Amino acid sequence: MYFNGTYDRNLDAKGRLSLPPAFKKQLEGLVRVLPAPEKEVDALYVFTEDTFKVWVDSVFEAKGGFDPTNRSHRMVKEALYGAATTLEIDSAARISLPEHDRKKAHLDREVTVVGGDDRLVIWDRETYAARQAETEDILADFFD
């Protein structure tokens, strides 16, 4: 599964996100949502059930693989699975983002949904715009 593109959306009064049409075809049934665990990222990650497990496994692969005898590995894995909420996509192709997740990611009404390869990333629209300004500089340096 591969997600790309950037879409401005509005959360409704109940915190529901109407999925962009480009993603409706790729998502069905259940998704896993969690606040981005990185310190500098105030956003929510949305994975399919399959890509969530692959992503968690990749987190540990970068550290040499999951070691069940390593206390910090067990704690991180538990934290990632514990932070993830399984949500059903309703008949109108919406997901109801939990209030505690919205608060953690500083999401109010106006959001930007970004395809991030194996996941969707939901940003506060102003935060994303500021990040994009920084990203443009990084891209220019990267390809210089």
pLDDT of 47: 95
The total number of structural domains in the chain stands at 1
Does residue 1 lie in a domain region? no
Supply the pTM of this predicted model. 0.91
pLDDT of 123: 97
- Region 78-84: what's the mean pLDDT? 95
Measured between alpha carbons, how far is 30 from 20 in angstroms, rounded to an integer?
A: 16
1 falls in which pLDDT band (50, 70, 90)? low
CATH of residue 24's domain is 3.40.1550.20
Measured between alpha carbons, how far is 119 from 138 in angstroms, rounded to an integer?
A: 22
Measured between alpha carbons, how far is 32 from 5 in angstroms, rounded to an integer?
A: 20
pLDDT of 85: 96
Does residue 49 lie in a domain region? yes
The residue written with tokens 């409706």 in the block is 24
Closest CA to 45 of 88, 7, 93, 97: 97
DSSP 38: S
Predicted confidence (pLDDT) at residue 78 exceeds the cutoff of 90: yes
Task: Give me the domain span that covers residue 53.
Answer: 6-142
pLDDT of 5: 92
